[in-house]
Amino acid sequence: MKILGKYSIGLGDRFGRQGSAQLKAIIAASEKGYDITPVWNKSNREHITIGTQPADVRIEADFVTNKAGFKSPYFVDADHINFDTVDRFISCSDFFTIDVASYIGKKASDEEINEFIAGVEKYTGELKITGSKLSFKTSQSHIREIAEKYLFAAIKAFDIYRKIEKIKGKGNFVTEVSMDEVPHSQTPVELFFILKMLANENIPVQTIAPKFSGRFNKGVDYVGDPKLFAREFESDLIIIDFAIKEFGLPENLKMSIHSGSDKFAIYPYIGSIIKRSDKGIHLKTAGTTWLEEVIGLAGSGGEALDFVKEIYSKSLEKIDELCAPYADVIDIKVSSLPSINEVSKWTSHKFSDSLRHITGNPDYNPNMRQLIHVAYKIAALNMNDYLRLLETNEETVSACVYENIYNRHICRLFDIN
Ligand SMILES: [Zn+2]
């Protein structure tokens, strides 16, 4: 059976050129005593925007792994797939993020709902988590509400799981279930009953990605109270532990945080809680590698700087079109975006500093960062020039990619100095 390690990180690489730089960060962490399993992910949306195939991710992952002589396990994640989009991912992936967000809120049949409620009778009234101080009040009507909201999604998750299993064979892939791309967060009690539903459906889920409270905007820091997040996160971990024992879910089932990258404010909390409770984690960092490419090109000056200035100017022109698919996960204050004219006069330094996620830097502009984050389509429209410039400036670009994953993500999460 394919088992995901205790610590794993989802690495995204939209244009498929930064595999080695990202793997170097994983290797640096292992030299510090943290074995992290790299999980190469790319969503269907990104493939469509750029014009790549899921198999390209596999080719890149295999290539950089061999080149680095990396001997530990790694996975290729079919990220946020559903019943309709999974097919072309099946042969080349061995990790599947089954996205049930679009099924949440649709009702299963009365018969299915009643059967579920009857099966969880012992948790009605009070849900006591043995071995912890946690306990939650529940009622039959509350459980019914949860079942009406989530049971259909769990049944759908099984349909997708079965579709994959039929081709790949049982135990030959890692299953994640994600529910993060929805407007409302899930409470620990909801998570408990959702896990019961997944167990009833016999889905060997190894990672679960709930939606937490607070805002997880793409590429910028967490918006919300980190202490509140920490309490929620810790309760969820206890719930997962209890659910493993109660429902016979895989022993290594762990939390997956779909962070949208760069949630630096909550990393120290996540890090200290998993350390204290000896738990694993899957952290999806995804698309900020593309931002590091832009930062690296800006830093290279000359034609590369002109190219990224052009990307910015086109992204301002097409701002509505670029932002539309990401409306729920970005929050751009348009009045804080610099004008095209202003940016045209910027130096390498000024451009890089505006984008690089260093909150203490007065030039850092999270609004511009979010806009460029969703503007990769503009580079894809001029692919030949973009890839040529990445190649010419490879050293500067890959240094930015490495520094981002290693220093800003891994070191912060695991408190490595
Ligand atoms: Zn997600």
pLDDT tens digit sequence for 105-152:
999 999 999 999 999 999 999 999 988 889 999 999 999 999 999 999
- Report the mean per-residue pLDDT for the chain: 96
Cα 321–Cα 184–Cα 182 angle in degrees, nearest 5: 40
The enclosing domain of 166 has a CATH number of: 3.20.20.70
Is residue 113 included in any domain, yes or no? no
Please tell me the distance from the alpha carbon of residue 237 to that of residue 249, in angstroms, as a whole number.
Answer: 14
pLDDT (0 to 100) of residue 15: 95
pLDDT (0 to 100) of residue 183: 84
For ligand 1, the distance from its centroid to the CA atom of residue 211, given in whole angstroms, is 9
Domain count, the chain: 2
pLDDT (0 to 100) of residue 306: 98
- The whole-number average pLDDT for the span 175-185 is 92
Q: Which of 259, 286, 313 is the last residue of a domain?
A: 286
For ligand 1, the distance from its centroid to the CA atom of residue 266, given in whole angstroms, is 17
For ligand 1, the distance from its centroid to the CA atom of residue 299, given in whole angstroms, is 30
For ligand 1, the distance from its centroid to the CA atom of residue 115, given in whole angstroms, is 30
pLDDT (0 to 100) of residue 284: 92
Does 286 score more than 80 pLDDT? no
Please tell me the distance from the alpha carbon of residue 78 to that of residue 98, in angstroms, as a whole number.
Answer: 8
Is residue 142 included in any domain, yes or no? no
Is residue 321 included in any domain, yes or no? yes
Domain that includes residue 232, residue range? 7-104+155-286
134 and 238 Cβ atoms separated by less than 8 Å? yes
- The whole-number average pLDDT for the span 279-303 is 94
For ligand 1, the distance from its centroid to the CA atom of residue 242, given in whole angstroms, is 24
For ligand 1, the distance from its centroid to the CA atom of residue 287, given in whole angstroms, is 11
Is residue 120 included in any domain, yes or no? no
For ligand 1, the distance from its centroid to the CA atom of residue 80, given in whole angstroms, is 7
Q: Is 278 helix (H, G, I), strand (E, B) or coil?
A: coil
Q: Which of 286, 305, 321 is the last residue of a domain?
A: 286
Q: How many residues does the chain have?
A: 417
pLDDT in tens, 205-217: 999 999 999 999 9
Q: Which of 286, 317, 333 is the last residue of a domain?
A: 286
Please tell me the distance from the alpha carbon of residue 86 to that of residue 351, in angstroms, as a whole number.
Answer: 38
Tokens 């996975």 belong to 75
Where is 205: in which H helix or E strand? strand 205-209
Please tell me the distance from the alpha carbon of residue 310 to that of residue 340, in angstroms, as a whole number.
Answer: 9
- The reply to whether 235 and 381 lie within a common domain is no
pLDDT (0 to 100) of residue 414: 96
- The reply to whether 344 and 297 lie within a common domain is yes
In one-letter notation, the amino acid at residue 304 is A
Is residue 181 included in any domain, yes or no? yes
Please tell me the distance from the alpha carbon of residue 238 to that of residue 132, in angstroms, as a whole number.
Answer: 8
pLDDT (0 to 100) of residue 225: 97
pLDDT (0 to 100) of residue 77: 97
- The whole-number average pLDDT for the span 232-258 is 96
- The reply to whether 269 and 302 lie within a common domain is no
Does 346 score more than 90 pLDDT? yes
